Structure 1
């Protein structure tokens, strides 16, 4: 395959970068440094510090919310009728497709008769049991249940994958039917944001879902409700600098326009907003590892025949939500609604690079064909430079095993200080 340094910018990589009031040094720091075909990107991604367990294939079509699972693809299997009477529990098997690793979860026997299966076509996207959230070894299962009285409910089962234990179960009562939800887990794994999945509810159950965000403790208790009546179009990312306290919200509606804001969950208020002078409707947002930057994949105004237009990526500085850089995408004018483009933009584990999808030139019904990698500006001080040098020889998992104090290991893993 060759090293990353030997594969610099094939001729088809024609991405254009644009900036607002940046000098030549700023443009150089955000420069395009590498391009790779999507089919082989999963191998090159590791060389550039991106998560090796992300699934960039068309499996994204079957799950609708890959940002909630950090790009991972999980298959869920459970006891069939011939087996259920052999055990005093209901056995669920979660398989991460990337490594074929199984996690076995024991649920109460009552789930045997309560799981509800949707009919096609909605049943293709909404399974009786499926993973709707994942982060750092914590997975959230959505179980769609219906009892003999036809009462509809959705259980969200928080699972610790390594120990195969259920941490909590949060139950939501649905009015008439089940619908797919997104669960975005906080950096400290203490809570998650629960919201309806926009793609599913707008296609299969309009008006039959709860259009609100809820903050749920991973121990099962509801913490708060926000954006009641306007949550379905929103995209959420936790600010890694504030544990579970602050989130970035994309498509936050203000004065009839979509903006990006920072919301403090403890104070229950918006604490930071970007200017509404430019178009900012987004299809995905992501923080860098240390929370310095927030990247937003802009959804263009022209949407036709199920094809999306992603003209650019906005880069905000998290300190004041000002737009510090704009990256114009390549050939993403007519992209299928369900495509790997939903996984991007993605920051590397160290925040040194940003990956953005690009399409194939001159084709109708454009598919994501390649991935462009951009260099991200870094903080220039002795500590940061030493950290970058160490990370050239030790990956994320290696840092965890070093005989160092926990705070220093967290610094090497680019985890922000909460103190």
Structure 2
């Protein structure tokens, strides 16, 4: 077996470190691969990243790529000429890169209830659009002309609506972000910052709502209202280990500066906050699959303020939100809100690698040119290493077919560990 020191040396060479070694092991964060954006979706499979992410520049119709995990869904609908021809209203959800349609049947009353927003805001706010997606569950935002916004929870495989949540609109309709919990039992609704700040200032509910997917008669009730009055700027990510009970929040204002905090949604208590000595205005925040790390895409400071920084990625420890590593983006002068760069950083399915966008030298405010892949430190414990070894040979779908107990398969698929 060798001595403890020799085992640590071998582990360090392979990028496997103990918790105490993580902040000091610089070799574990090295860049190991680069790929152009046009061919990245093919290489992504080899490195264990989700291959069905839409990295094209045509993201203006959605404004919330982080809610759908980067997957792009378009929605179309048509009305039958006569009720006898088709006694229902048909909605078709299409994922372009997956080439698969999901057909949802709604009551015929929706035909006359849909609210059409005039341009330019209508270019971003559709009568029906997907505003959240996770593991086969989608959330549709339906804007009705009777002063309501309806959020339909759709099971994509069975093409059924499993629940609905309604919001009364007192002013204008507005675009919302929805984030589905790891156990698929709840989802968060919050106003989309880019939309409301451009098209309906002050005419929206500036609050985070935690909504249960389980309710009586298909109604999804609100279980919590959080951060009333300050929700619009926040970026939220569910901790994959805690079902709906713990979230990370970016752009949490503390002492006049943006910070990151971990929040218990059950007790409504902030667990820990990051050090505000670092500039931390974020445009994306994401957990590693096992919940060990938290990565955030930090925006550069404004040129008009006399400051100019290239965007960078901060990697935090989820134990105390200490910053373990800083990765500076290459040749990205800024992060345009509607650019594919907003989809990054990305963790691989097993959390062993991190993908970060880069640009082209000599350009200004340009789109993403390619992707760098970095090696992540992995905790050196037998249970985690066994999981990673198994996942080297079986992807998430293959794990479901293994003759193993349900709890063990859940662990292999990085599903919630705590109730």
Work out whether the TM-score is over 0.5. yes
Q: Which residue in 1 is equivalent to 2:74?
A: 75
2:39 matches 1:44: no
Please say which of residues 168-177 and 289-298 is displaced more in the overlay: 168-177
5 Å matches for 1:265-344?
Answer: 265-302=265-302, 310-344=310-344
Listed as ranges, the gaps of 5+ residues in structure 1 are 1-20
Structure 1 residues 83 and 339, CA gap change in structure 2 (3 angstroms): farther
Corresponding residue of 1:402: 402
| 1:153-197 deviation digits (Å, cap 9, x = unpaired) | 110000111111111111101112111000000000111110000
Q: Is the 8 A contact 2:263 2:271 kept in 1?
A: yes
Measured in 1, the distance between the counterparts of 2:184 and 2:65 equals 18
TM-score (norm 2): 0.90
Residues 72-119 of structure 1, C-alpha deviation per residue, up to 9 Å, x if partnerless? Answer: 111111123536662222111111112121111111222111101111
Larger displacement relative to structure 2 (211-220 or 21-30):
21-30
Cα gap change, 1:119 to 1:221, in 2 (>3 Å) = same
Q: Which residue of 1 aligns with 2:3?
A: none
User: Which residue is equivalent to 1:187?
Assistant: 182
2:40 counterpart SS class: helix
Q: What is the number of residues matched between the two proteins?
A: 392
Residue by residue over 1:307-365, the C-alpha shift from the partner in whole angstroms, topping out at 9 and shown as x without a partner, is x9652111001011111111111111134331101100110100000001111110123
Q: Secondary structure at the match of 2:60?
A: helix
Residue of 207, 210, 222 corresponding to 2:205: 210
CA distance in 2 between counterparts of 1:41 and 1:405 reads 35
- Which residue is 2:154 aligned to? 159
With over 3 angstroms needed to count, the CA separation of the structure-2 counterparts of 1:56 and 1:217, relative to structure 1, is: same
TM-score, with normalisation over the residues of structure 1?
0.90
Q: Distance in 2 between matches of 1:371 and 1:272?
A: 32
> Distance in 1 between the 2:128 and 2:303 partners?
32
RMSD: 1.9
Q: Deviations over 1:397-416 (max 9, x none)?
A: 11111111112212222335
* 1:126-141 to 2 correspondences below 5 Å: 126-141=125-140
Distance 1:25 1:48 in 2: 25
Change (3 A) 1:284 1:85: farther
Once the two structures are TM-superposed, the CA of residue 60 in structure 1 deviates from its matched residue by 2.3
Q: How does 1:118-129 map to 2 (within 5 A)?
A: 118-129=117-128
How many angstroms apart in 2 are the aligned matches of 1:157 and 1:114?
15
Q: Which stretch shifts more, 81-90 or 174-183?
A: 81-90
Kept in 1: contact 2:75–2:129 (CA 8 A) = yes
Q: Which blocks of at least 5 consecutive residues in structure 2 are unaligned?
A: 1-19, 215-219
Paired residues for 1:90-129 under 5 Å? 90-129=89-128
Tell me the secondary structure at the aligned position of residue 108 of structure 2.
coil
CA distance in 2, matches of 1:85, 1:142: 28
